[in-house]
Amino acid sequence: MLATAPSPLRPMTIEPESQPTPAVTRKSNWSKARVNFWLDLFLAFVFVGVATVSAILRFVFPLPTTASGWTLWNYDYNEYSRLHFWLMCILGAGVVLHVMLHWSWICGMLTRGNSTSTLRTDNGTQTLLGVIVLAIALHAIGLTVLAGLLMVSKP
């Protein structure tokens, strides 16, 4: 900033330094709608994969205790079971991302969806609620697995 000395006729003024012209920025092709479309398409493909592997495990292979030695396309029951698990993990992560991208809308529907509700939430409150819901869900999963580990019966 440049300051000019005051004169009896003019008060002191501060002149802004010359600002460089902003660089031309390219607009991104990734709009929110496009991100949602590709995420939804990806989730649809993963869901089809989960459904296919589930059907193979349920209807093609015999019960897991008698499936030893059985193969389909050079993969046995255990390999299909592992594939099923990892596809479910990918699907779960995608659903969590999907909910995160729509969290403002979800909170809006919960608070403003009811015409008699006057409750309004800001972005900070919505984020805090999202973290709390995610923490509760992860704890529920963890506690269920822990209970299973402690209560499983050995032959």
**Predicted confidence band of residue 82 (pLDDT cuts 50, 70, 90):** very high
* R_g over Cα of the chain: 29
Residues forming a β-bridge with 37: none
Q: What is the pLDDT of residue 116?
A: 62
Note whether 93 and 134 are same-domain residues: no
Classify residue 16: in a domain, yes or no. Answer: no
Note whether 108 and 93 are same-domain residues: no
State the average pLDDT over residues 132-141. Answer: 91
**Cα gap 54→39, rounded to integer Å:** 22
- 64, two tokens: 């897991």
Note whether 79 and 110 are same-domain residues: no
Q: How many domains does the chain have?
A: 2
Q: What is the pLDDT of residue 125?
A: 81
**Cα gap 67→71, rounded to integer Å:** 8
Tell me which residue range forms the domain holding 82: 32-98
Note whether 107 and 81 are same-domain residues: no
Q: What is the pLDDT of residue 106?
A: 81
Contacts for 94 with CB less than 8 Å, ≥ 6 apart: 39, 42, 43, 46
Predicted TM-score (pTM) of this structure: 0.68
Classify residue 76: in a domain, yes or no. Answer: yes
